Structure 1
């Protein structure tokens, strides 16, 4: 039996480092090269088998039939990033960007990943090959910010469907985070940065201790990293423009100090009495309202107090170990505990109240609706804490000619959200009606009145996984190219979820917040098998199939077949076909009606008032999300073909084509999409809709998930690697990686009469991303220059007058970021690195049509950030 112990300097590790081009790039390491160079046949024969992401079969070949990209530890350090989420967000596979921490919500600490632009719920995240729990605050993705970067040895990205191996959520691909295990000695590292732009200070550090013996090893890593808060008024693109009429202004809210009369000669028009606007606060502006109610209103600039990005701090302890019980068996374990703290800020509470004509809060002789900003209560502050506990205990060994691997995996993600300075609606209404709170003089209210209105809200959420797994691998028979290998296995998993709001929010009694508690659980039983057929020395066929049975909605079968052909020593051809699925998330099934204040552009109302779509402003309106207990799983088909080549001694690369089709799509029909359907004269999905008042304004929007439509996407990934050895003058290594999306379209029955949309190249969906990474090493020094580029897009898509075609308008610029690194490997066994991210201090792509005025998902507004990092080895 091959040794089960794997050391970081064994022949296999050397071969993998050559084949994968370890360390050749910074933010993205390269795809495996087609051929692993061997010094001689004897060394090749001694190689241990390893398991590569996307397959359960252990093998000595590092270049298989599936495209796997590796980001190794050197690449992680060269990137200058301090979190896994930021590191992966820069990859070309994260096509349209992904969810980032956003201030003022329970998800404000969440960092996601979205391979192929398919969403976090279709991208599976694994830790050492085992499933990581979902973030219970959002329920549809896994939080990369809850995984400490200091504990990571490498990250493997499988850019191919893998439901046949891993089950649900692997439609877009798999992120397998491999933790550190094989290290002897001690290390401390600290990174300090002081960004040139205001806000967002970053700190990171870790301490690591590893011990080894002839039979076992243990490694412990303690780490901490943090990033400071960034307020909206610290970035020019987030500030309001108030010099123009309201129809041209951005980031102004009608929840300022407005009375809309319900009766009388000016019924339906907005009113704001003298002395009740600019003189009360520098954040209030009196502007002509030519869009909503007519008249002159008092509008609020919320950007002066709200934050764009929440602060975030991550603390973690990671322990791994394994021990050889005897020559045939070993026990392995992993324990992790991570705590994440986040602080975010919303502007003061916006809310409305219906006032009688004789109410002290109503300066008019007719009943009215007051749209008011309760500034005297102070800004709404949210503090979020999440705790992730995980543990793995497994056994690996051989009985006869069968390799066995079995164990138990447990993980729990638990979060708490506390919000301050929200409002008790009943008391707010009562104090308005009895005159204790005067909206024309809000800061004159007594502290007792303000305290009687304030509410502290709370939310507790948890997602728990209990998993038992086992597999058996064996050689079946010898054929033309070698031994047929097979793996059979079984898994049983229990998932439990709950999301508990405080009783006042749940009852809808809190202004500025709402939400209903929900909970759910399921168990999943799975059987799978995978076979490798070496048909010839240079041709192999791999087949896999998996059966999953869910206790709540039903079952799914996921087959996959892959072919690898190596016509010459320098060329590898590969192709695969896979069917996959994504189970409906527990949150989507069990979610109950919950309030949210959505930002939308009411094109229907604008058309009624003669305002063009280009000038139709963004407004905030009441909306309610609902769940759907009848959701079924999504089903996918994926096709892939590629070539990996070694063109010369210094040039290698790969080109991979893919096509993915998803049926029975689970997607949230959002508030803006419902308005767009209304503009197009289309029917709403069952249970969803836009409801309007007598004047034509939006009363409320009901939105939520449904199995509706199909999605098709296709594209190509290109990876070119070059290595130049200049002898005593050093070595230069370069890597160009391009992710190009040819097609990404949703086909919906809701759009039967509308021409097929051209999504790619429109707002938020760039057609390609490219990374060019260069590393030059000479003596004790290493220098890196990394370039990240994202394509430009159009700004908006409108229907022509006949409603028969979509027309792209406007332009959103591309984004190119340059990062540089210089590292000195000192004589005293340490490393000193100087890093500058965004050397040119480039602003992100800007557009008022982005929800935060810039391309928040695939760029950042941090500006130039210099870092210094010191690492000491003992």
Structure 2
């Protein structure tokens, strides 16, 4: 049988120390090698297939991360470990502040978290929260993870929608016996010695940290697991409870994040919304300004207006670099064998998470107001300045005001998520060769966002006496915005408001399938044909309720409205798989197997769709495998993509027609709405944020992806196995938006209405002052996306080395192509992100790997060293001079050791990023947070961790 050949043994050996991309995932005891008659009857279910049989390995590349690797990494956030895999890009992490959803998502191949299917014990997790339609892996208690299986290719035929880039399956230790208590702590340490940015801050007289940071960003965790048999061994129960708390870290804690770099990365920039306000003034009549007479002023210490030059606010220090977080999880796994034909089981889990995303203070973000020149907040000298500037008869002025509320403190979004998940079902045998599994699962996530300390815009006009605003009634506290340092905390408090969002996601899944082997085979093979056939019904509903403040966008710092959202869909599916052994024990053929799979899905929103797969598994000898597969994957649009109301928001980047020396020519900028008089005079947003118009589209079609994989698995010598797998994913009908910056560029270069009609500039030509100017970027089915590359893994073990064992494991991924073709028929819009970073490209190294060497002593201690490597990336753009030569390669070294004090007590201690390597800095248009690509590269310096485990 295949289970006893040398290839199977090498695979099991790989699993014993976290083998990569090999082939095996057993629902029984995947990390132990069975022998004899018991091995002959062992049934294996491989990730990527629901077929359970005794005699074959997977034709799909599967990356395995063991429980030991998870523990040795020291990470208490499961996404931190997953983001260290070469196949994964950082998505929503704890290192995101502005725009944080409060969840943790996984993004395989950088194709988007909504194209990565996340499972727990082979069943999908429900969507995450009020801002997210992707699964939140905060639900996963890392202490109870037995292994993580990553199928890096399409899996829609087996599991349904969303498995475009692949599948992440968290296999839980539901067979645990005994009691285990883990108490751990961790923190970060960094030597602040970045001469480059310190010099930039010295130029601005900014304060920043120097020298040793000490240990900060501390985290503490307690994990309790218990389990055992009951009812004379017929049943087993495993229960767990975990608690984790993480301290906040602000950007002021690191020198390289203590100032907000400009887009070029050459100076400490910041926001034009400043403590000492900036004003764009115009003469006006009945609220209609004469933009041709614009002046840009600020205040001198005597409260006179003077030209504003370089008056920007360094908003960085108070922003979170890492959000504070507290999480609780509880759960249990129970099974009971009535008889071999009826084995009911249940899974129940609960997670509560609370985090706070703090960003810089609110303020008046260049809102537009008109004033009678006799407004009591103007001084006599200011009135005279207006008349001197705009004419003696001036009676009314209009203004865009930029004032930062430093008197009132930073804004914050308090994000909470409570997730419940219940699975109930039964499995058993249907005769000698067939088994069944029937289950129902219910998952629900309740989430909320309470936005605090922001300005409530209707009150601003009242407090400054703007024309058309309500009167400021008693007790009226005027907001002295036209007086130098005239604003106080007492004046700011009445203007503040609070916005509240509440969301509920529910997912109900009924799944039933039967799998087994027929009692016949084709003549050229001695092994039977195996199959699975099943049905599934899935319902997903989402409701987000916005209060009036969010719904109308009445908070100054929100960038636009956040409307309520209600929607759902239902899908009925039938699926099947077939494994056909074609040939075995022939010349040059140890085994040859054909695998087929198909799934028909009927969505109430978009109709019927078909996914399928064809795979070949060829073993020329017992030591070598050649595998190839083709998968057709389908992803239906999620609720937000379909039903989100269209509303105003912000996008990060640059306007290529702004500034004194625009990137685009005058003729090109004219296509985007810039007049000849405005060219070279269009103002640039100091914070690199511009207005956009975003939202859903109920007429979206499903995405279609074709995934091709081809690979070789080998066991050329004893204790060495490796795999090399090529992958290619072609995605069509991509659901997304055309990036606003790309829209502007393509409009300028082509003049096509499909781009230019989506650009609406202000009377002064800019895209950021006020809320009437914008670039429309609502959801549409775009053209295509192609991702291809090669995954490599190798595992080697040396026995009897100084009384112990040396294990080496390497996993790597080489990116060949990451091409985006966002607009059909427009070749100039096509771009390839492989090996590049740009405003449209997440940094995608051509090569990325991790290499781990471990030593396990017979004296009950182990030591590990890991080398994580990110290849360099080139910069595709002209704005960011800091990265003009690209980002250099990054190497991080991790060390850890574990030892048993007694049979019941063990210690683990480690340091990740031992050499305190900083994340590469980028300008504001490329940064995801704090002048870095946060959460992808090591973001905060050294990571120190320690834990003690008690077992009983």
TM-score by length of 2: 0.83
SS at match of 1:356: strand
Shift of 1:246: 11
CA distances 1:31-60 after superposition (whole Å, capped 9, x unpaired): 348999998962464442021211010023
SS at match of 1:252: coil
> Do the aligned partners of 2:855 and 2:864 also contact (CA within 8 Å) in 1?
yes
> Do the aligned partners of 1:111 and 1:144 also contact (CA within 8 Å) in 2?
yes
Aligned-partner Cα distance in 2 for 1:241–1:712:
34
Question: Could you tell me which of 354, 370, 380 is aligned with 1:341?
Answer: 354
Matched, 1:529 2:576: yes
Shift of 1:446: 6.6
SS at match of 1:628: coil
> Do the aligned partners of 1:792 and 1:813 also contact (CA within 8 Å) in 2?
yes
Residue correspondence of structure 1 range 304-343 to structure 2 within 5 A: 304-343=317-356
Shift of 1:370: 1.2
Matched, 1:227 2:246: yes
Matched, 1:207 2:227: no
SS at match of 1:766: coil
Aligned to 1:658: 727
Aligned-partner Cα distance in 1 for 2:111–2:264:
36
CA distances 1:285-318 after superposition (whole Å, capped 9, x unpaired): x998xxxxxx536321111322232112221012
Q: Give the direction of change, closer, same or farther, for the CA distance of 1:63–1:476 in structure 2 (3 Å limit).
A: closer
Aligned-partner Cα distance in 1 for 2:341–2:760:
68
Aligned to 2:468: none
Aligned-partner Cα distance in 2 for 1:245–1:753:
27
Matched, 1:872 2:950: yes
Q: Give the direction of change, closer, same or farther, for the CA distance of 1:586–1:165 in structure 2 (3 Å limit).
A: same
Shift of 1:355: 2.9
Question: Could you tell me which of 449, 454, 468 is aligned with 1:417?
Answer: 449
SS at match of 2:162: coil
Aligned to 2:805: 731
Matched, 1:355 2:370: yes
Shift of 1:216: 1.2
Shift of 1:77: 1.1
Aligned to 1:603: 656
Shift of 1:115: 1.1
SS at match of 2:326: strand
Where in structure 1 are there 5+ consecutive unaligned residues? 1-9, 280-285, 289-294, 800-807
Q: Give the direction of change, closer, same or farther, for the CA distance of 1:250–1:633 in structure 2 (3 Å limit).
A: farther
Shift of 1:448: 6.1
Aligned to 1:5: none
**Which range is displaced more, 561-570 or 260-269?**
260-269
**Which range is displaced more, 763-772 or 677-686?**
677-686
> Do the aligned partners of 1:24 and 1:774 also contact (CA within 8 Å) in 2?
no
Shift of 1:442: 8.1
Aligned-partner Cα distance in 1 for 2:639–2:32:
49
Question: Could you tell me which of 10, 14, 34 is aligned with 1:21?
Answer: 14
Question: Could you tell me which of 262, 266, 280 is aligned with 2:282?
Answer: 262
Matched, 1:713 2:787: yes
**Which range is displaced more, 108-117 or 444-453?**
444-453
CA distances 1:519-561 after superposition (whole Å, capped 9, x unpaired): 1011110000111111123111110000011111222100101
> Do the aligned partners of 1:382 and 1:417 also contact (CA within 8 Å) in 2?
yes
Residue correspondence of structure 1 range 309-458 to structure 2 within 5 A: 309-350=322-363, 351=365, 352-358=367-373, 359-361=375-377, 363=382, 365=386, 366-400=397-431, 402-433=434-465, 436-441=478-483, 444=486, 449-458=491-500
Aligned to 1:275: 301
Aligned-partner Cα distance in 1 for 2:92–2:450:
21
**Which range is displaced more, 190-199 or 813-822?**
190-199
Aligned-partner Cα distance in 2 for 1:406–1:685:
50
Aligned-partner Cα distance in 2 for 1:448–1:367:
26
Aligned to 2:868: 788
Aligned-partner Cα distance in 2 for 1:798–1:782:
49
Shift of 1:174: 0.2
Aligned to 1:831: 906
SS at match of 2:242: strand
Aligned to 1:176: 169
Matched, 1:488 2:513: no
Shift of 1:481: 3.2
Aligned to 2:157: 164
Aligned-partner Cα distance in 2 for 1:687–1:706:
16
**Which range is displaced more, 46-55 or 76-85?**
46-55
SS at match of 1:135: strand
Matched, 1:91 2:85: yes
Which of structures 1 and 2 has the bigger CA Rg? Answer: 2
> Do the aligned partners of 2:809 and 2:853 also contact (CA within 8 Å) in 1?
yes
Where in structure 2 are there 5+ consecutive unaligned residues? 191-212, 284-289, 387-396, 466-471, 585-590, 667-677, 768-772, 838-842
Q: Give the direction of change, closer, same or farther, for the CA distance of 1:798–1:408 in structure 2 (3 Å limit).
A: same
CA distances 1:107-135 after superposition (whole Å, capped 9, x unpaired): 34222211112111111001111111112
Matched, 1:48 2:76: no
> Do the aligned partners of 2:239 and 2:333 also contact (CA within 8 Å) in 1?
yes
Shift of 1:99: 2.8
CA distances 1:627-665 after superposition (whole Å, capped 9, x unpaired): 111111100111111110001003210000111111111
Count of aligned residue pairs for this structure pair: 838
Residue correspondence of structure 1 range 562-641 to structure 2 within 5 A: 562-606=615-659, 607=662, 619-641=688-710
Q: Give the direction of change, closer, same or farther, for the CA distance of 1:508–1:519 in structure 2 (3 Å limit).
A: same
Aligned-partner Cα distance in 2 for 1:734–1:685:
54
Q: Give the direction of change, closer, same or farther, for the CA distance of 1:353–1:308 in structure 2 (3 Å limit).
A: farther
> Do the aligned partners of 1:582 and 1:634 also contact (CA within 8 Å) in 2?
yes
Q: Give the direction of change, closer, same or farther, for the CA distance of 1:597–1:39 in structure 2 (3 Å limit).
A: closer
Aligned-partner Cα distance in 2 for 1:690–1:169:
32
Aligned to 1:292: none
Shift of 1:11: 11
Aligned-partner Cα distance in 1 for 2:51–2:267:
59
**Which range is displaced more, 105-114 or 468-477?**
105-114
Aligned-partner Cα distance in 2 for 1:712–1:41:
44
Aligned to 1:67: 61
SS at match of 2:22: coil
> Do the aligned partners of 1:374 and 1:442 also contact (CA within 8 Å) in 2?
no
Aligned-partner Cα distance in 1 for 2:368–2:485:
18
Aligned to 2:124: 131
> Do the aligned partners of 2:340 and 2:429 also contact (CA within 8 Å) in 1?
no
Aligned-partner Cα distance in 2 for 1:55–1:287:
71
SS at match of 1:303: coil
> Do the aligned partners of 1:98 and 1:113 also contact (CA within 8 Å) in 2?
yes
CA distances 1:232-279 after superposition (whole Å, capped 9, x unpaired): 22222223279x9999544411122111122379822311121289x9
Aligned-partner Cα distance in 1 for 2:236–2:871:
46
TM-score by length of 1: 0.90
Shift of 1:601: 1.1
Matched, 1:854 2:872: no
> Do the aligned partners of 2:873 and 2:888 also contact (CA within 8 Å) in 1?
yes
What CA RMSD, in Å, does the superposition of the two structures yield over aligned residues? 3.1
SS at match of 1:160: coil
Shift of 1:183: 1.4
Matched, 1:112 2:105: yes
Shift of 1:383: 1.2
Shift of 1:624: 3.1
Matched, 1:775 2:854: yes
